[in-house]
Amino acid sequence: MTHKFKFLAFLSLAVLLSTASWSREKTYDGSLPKVHIIATGGTIAGASTDIGYDAGKVSIETILQAVPGLTQYAELDYEQFCNIGSQDMNEQIWLPLAKRVNQVLACGHYDAVLITHGTDTMEETAFFLNLTVHNPKPVILVGAMRPSDAVDADGPSNLLKAVQTAVKPDAVGKEVMCCLGGRIYEAGAAFKNDTHSLDPVSETSVDWYLPHNAATGFFIEDLQELPEVGIVYGYGSGSTTALEAFVNAGYKGVVFAGVGDGNLNRAALDLAGRAAKNGTVIVRSSRIPYGGVYTEGGEVDDERLGFIASGSLSPQKSRILLMLALTTTRDIGTIRSYFRHGVSER
């Protein structure tokens, strides 16, 4: 993506978000926009316990009752898709969820989809949907850091912000968005970087910006599962046990959350190099959230070893891109180009 395009993308999001006074958007026939809510759980659906709270306990109906003003902005309906803490989110939910979002948006009745979701893995689900939803209508994930029964719960105000954003005409044609801390973030850049703050998301710079539409991403309608891809975390005096375990278990790919600029220690480098030669796809990412990992100018010879540099993608987003990429190809050059340039107009 060129700097100019990046700037335009940033500018359009900034304009969308800076609309301070929220008007009631009307459709051409004067009716309110229609928003479908898919509830998956999270702290926004959490209930207090003796030690803290449990995520994914309260129904979407109860959550919506706490925000009666929402119906000023949109005609809402909802479904309880699942009710879990997002630490339990996985491919067996992501695939049907993406299919459901595609189905809801394709039926023509709805202007946008909201998904209530835990914050722990929200960026992963958002990124997954961004690569698998083929409709430019807004898709927004919304969560909270305090459970629904907290006196100062943040879920209601985040929901309001998400609905207000979803009905704006200029929310169409964006990436999948996340709403937390009263702000909107796009899937490619968003990552949770604070375990407790009410505003726990930051943005990293991105190499490519990919609004979801008919021509972008991967088509998952016929998929029931995804290839297994694991993540190995790098650290000083790092052991190769985890890498070896993934390779021996037959994982199709491994993302290495390397130290610094995506570096692996000598033993891990040798093992990963052998694994790559034997067909395991190795992506080199970093445990550092900013700056990215690139083949050019680094210490690792990706070309010789057969590795793929993650570019600006975090290990967890690299894993998602690699799983989806492996459903279509095992060609390292093609997968490299996805990491470098995104997945559009294939």
Residue ranges that bind ligand ASP, judged by CB under 6 A: 42-43, 55, 85-87, 118-120, 143, 145
Does residue 57 contact residue 83 with C-beta atoms inside 8 Å?
yes
In a 10 Å sphere around its CB, with 0-12 CB exposed, 13-18 middle and 19+ buried, how is residue 212 labelled? Answer: buried
Residue number with CB closer to ligand ASP (118 or 258): 118
* Of 283, 270, 271, residue with least CA distance to 316: 283
* Nearer to ligand ASP among residue 141 and residue 226 (C-beta): 141
Beta-sheet pairing, 281-286 with 112-116: unpaired
In whole angstroms, the minimum distance from the beta carbon of 145 to ligand ASP comes to 5
Residue 35 beta carbon to ligand ASP: minimum distance, rounded to whole angstroms: 21
Which token pair is 212? 């979801």
* DSSP string computed for 55-117: SS-S-HHHHHHT-GGGGGT-EEEEEEEEEE-GGG--HHHHHHHHHHHHHHHHTSS-SEEEEE-
Which of 86/216 has CB closer to ligand ASP? 86
* Position of minimal CB gap to ligand ASP: 118
Residue 272 CB, nearest approach to ligand ASP (Å): 31
Q: Which is nearer to ligand ASP, 40 or 102 (CB)?
A: 40
Looking at the Cβ atoms of 4 and 196, the one nearer to ligand ASP is 196
65-80: b or e for each residue (b if 16 or more CB lie within 10 Å)?
A: eebeebeebbbbebee
> CA 141 to CA 187: how far, in whole Å?
10
The active-site residue out of 19, 27, 40, 43 is: 43
CB of residue 124 vs ligand ASP: minimum separation in angstroms?
A: 11
CB of 317 to ligand ASP, least distance (A): 17
């000023």: which residue's tokens?
Answer: 72
Strands (E), 241-329: 253-258, 281-286, 308-309
Q: 116, 309 in Cβ contact below 8 A?
A: no
Q: Would you call 204 a catalytic residue per the annotation?
A: no
Here the tokens at position 324 are 């989806």
Q: Can you tell me the distance from the alpha carbon of 94 to that of 117, in angstroms, rounded to the nearest whole number? A: 12
Q: Indicate the residue among 49 and 87 with the shorter CB distance to ligand ASP.
A: 87
Catalytic residues: 43
